[in-house]
């Protein structure tokens, strides 16, 4: 119905309009509404759409056994990239931004939270939300569950199921504010008011989702030793890159993710220093290499049409390399930091294209424009965007060598035919942080399969690795177990896949099992049939594709 303008004459119930639903893309349908007369440019129309949302892919209904507490059901929405059209009628494209408000009534014993700048609880367990800053449709998010919160900073609290809240508070108390302050110093004011974190049930398919004011994260981040906080730095960085300045099309997803990876590593450098950040970036580069080896080198920064095919390492890590290349052209970190602030300030609350970004870069640095840096042979901006394959420029990660070299040397020792146990025992890994261990395991994986018996010895020697609770270590250990056919530890692969459903951990393990022996293929089928109901529908479909199961979409 078309409602009368506020305060104007007309029927308060509005005028009924003819509507038609037409097919649209691979998700959803388009609602065509016929207006009584053509609107003027800039005219404000108020439409009332009565709709019901059910089982669409953007709305996830979890049974109690899919939650951490196992007592009550849970529901959450996941809009990125084009799933919110199954949650409410909207212009479901990142090129359109708007404010929103919502009133949500939930049953007793449940709490609702949304990605909103303000929320209030009213009587009858009704919650009222408002988002006062314009955002694209994919950033609207709702959770309803048995959840509670605890303050961890002046503008931050953690939300989680009651059984996880203590662990969440302990892991994040005081750290979020530190990251926000560094982010503001580097990129300008944090405009979203609060920065809260919601720990999702284990079936949540992503590491994090940067819903404004309320980042959703995997419970895998509760490692107990703050070793995985870089994921939070990544989501915080989206407060500027992605949420404030947004890619206008999903084909240019690297504008969100490449800049965010760069921003994450800038914050990490300020907080943890350059060697550690270079080490983390080296593991990112290894993921890009693995991804390109697994899929052929066929990815450009500019991506194809179906937005859900864009979730791979390319926009993140190749995008990071491109932004690093721009910084390298400038040749001065503080000048490039100043550019990033000016960039955010110029395009805040807008959706932009790569042309806007690169045009502004050349305008901001006229001396570079005069030199024609956009068309240096082999490094042309156009080549970065449109030619698939390995990045033409790789940032220098050599400051990480002091942490990488010992890990490389230790991996060499373990890959040898006759193990030199004296040399191995001389290396003390008790002080190694997560990414140093991850880097070591990546090296071992590259050298796998190792000579007979070596992995078994390695497992025994380092229970800190083979019995780790840290998800990043568990993923690598499971990959090593599979690559070396260490059947005695196949149960660890099964346990890990039963414990969580994060896409980044789940898909590589199914790929490894399916590419392995008869035994690992059987393990894949058995594990999938047991865990499929607890996986997100997109992840189920990806796994079906890997396992060649019929009916995969």
Residues annotated catalytic, as ranges? 235, 316
Q: Render the burial of 402-439: b for 16+ CB within 10 Å, e for the rest.
A: ebbebbeebbeebbeeebeeeebeeeeeeebebbbbbb
Question: What is the C-alpha to C-alpha distance for residues 398 and 405, in angstroms, rounded to an integer?
Answer: 10
Q: Which two tokens stand for residue 113?
A: 């939270």
Residue 297 near residue 312 (C-beta atoms within 8 A): no
Q: How many helices (H) and strands (E) does the chain have?
A: 21, 18
Closest CA to 235 of 139, 144, 132: 139
| Cα dihedral: 238, 240, 244, 245 (round 10) | -90
DSSP state for residue 220 in the 8-state scheme: G
Residue 296 neighbours by CB distance under 10 Å: 9
Residue positions forming the annotated binding site for a peptide:
78-80, 205-210, 502-504
Question: What is the C-alpha to C-alpha distance for residues 84 and 343, in angstroms, rounded to an integer?
Answer: 28
Residue positions forming the annotated binding site:
78-80, 205-210, 234, 238, 257, 502-504
Provide the β-strand partners of residue 105: 126
Residue positions forming the annotated binding site for Zn(2+):
234, 238, 257
Biggest alpha carbon–alpha carbon distance for the chain: 90
| Cα dihedral: 255, 256, 258, 263 (round 10) | 120
- Phi, psi for residue 516 in degrees, rounded to 5: -100, -140
Residue 455 near residue 494 (C-beta atoms within 8 A): no
Residues 6 or more apart whose Cβ sits within 8 Å of residue 496: 471, 474, 475, 478, 505, 509
DSSP 3-state of 235: helix
């Amino acid at each position: 119905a078309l409602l009368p303008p506020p305060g104007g004459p007309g029927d308060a119930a509005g005028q009924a309009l003819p509507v038609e639903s037409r097919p649209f893309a691979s998700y959803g349908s388009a609602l065509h509404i016929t207006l009584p007369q053509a609107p003027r440019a800039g005219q404000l129309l108020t439409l009332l759409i009565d709709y019901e949302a059910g089982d669409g892919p953007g709305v996830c209904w979890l049974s109690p056994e899919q939650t951490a507490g196992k007592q009550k059901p849970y529901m959450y929405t996941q809009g990125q990239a084009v799933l919110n059209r199954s949650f409410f009628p909207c212009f479901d494209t990142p090129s359109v931004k708007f404010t929103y408000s919502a009133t949500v009534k939930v049953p007793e014993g449940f709490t609702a939270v949304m990605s909103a700048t303000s929320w209030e609880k009213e009587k009858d367990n009704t919650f009222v939300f408002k988002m006062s800053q314009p955002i694209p449709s994919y950033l609207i998010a709702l959770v309803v569950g048995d959840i509670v919160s605890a303050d961890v900073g002046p503008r931050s609290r953690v939300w989680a199921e009651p059984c996880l809240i203590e662990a969440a508070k302990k892991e994040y108390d005081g750290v979020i504010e530190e990251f926000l302050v560094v982010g503001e110093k580097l990129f300008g004011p944090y405009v979203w008011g609060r920065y809260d974190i919601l720990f999702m049930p284990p079936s949540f398919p992503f590491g994090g989702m940067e819903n404004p004011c309320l980042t959703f994260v995997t419970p895998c981040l509760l490692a107990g030793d703050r070793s995985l906080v870089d994921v939070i730095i990544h989501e915080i960085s989206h407060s500027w890159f992605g949420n404030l300045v947004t890619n206008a099309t999903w084909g240019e997803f690297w504008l969100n993710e490449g800049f965010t990876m760069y921003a994450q590593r800038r914050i990490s450098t300020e907080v943890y220093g350059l060697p550690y950040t270079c080490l983390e970036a080296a593991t990112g580069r290894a993921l890009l290499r693995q991804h390109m080896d697994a899929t052929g080198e066929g990815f450009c920064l500019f991506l194809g049409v179906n937005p859900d095919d864009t979730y791979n390492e390319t926009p993140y890590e190749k995008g990071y390399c491109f932004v690093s290349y721009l910084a390298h052209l400038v040749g001065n970190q503080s000048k490039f930091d100043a550019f990033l602030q000016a960039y955010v300030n110029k395009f805040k609350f807008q959706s932009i294209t790569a042309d806007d970004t690169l045009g502004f870069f050349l305008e901001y640095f006229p001396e570079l424009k005069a030199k024609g840096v956009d068309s240096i042979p082999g490094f042309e901006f156009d080549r970065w965007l449109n030619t698939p394959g390995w990045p033409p420029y790789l940032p220098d990660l050599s400051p990480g060598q002091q942490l990488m070299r010992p890990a490389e040397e230790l991996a060499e020792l373990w890959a040898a035919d006759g193990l030199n146990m004296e040399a191995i025992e001389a290396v003390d890994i008790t002080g190694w942080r997560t990414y140093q261990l991850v880097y070591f395991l990546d090296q071992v994986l590259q050298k796998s399969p190792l000579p007979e018996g070596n992995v078994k010895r390695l497992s025994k020697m380092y229970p800190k690795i083979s019995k780790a609770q840290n998800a990043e270590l568990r993923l690598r250990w499971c990959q090593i177990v599979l690559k070396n056919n260490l059947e005695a530890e196949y149960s660890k692969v099964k346990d890990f896949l039963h414990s969580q459903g994060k896409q980044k951990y789940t898909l590589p393990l199914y790929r490894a099992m399916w590419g392995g022996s008869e035994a690992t293929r059987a393990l894949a089928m058995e594990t999938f049939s047991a865990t499929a109901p607890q996986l997100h529908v997109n992840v189920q479909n990806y796994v079906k594709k890997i396992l060649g199961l019929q009916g995969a979409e």
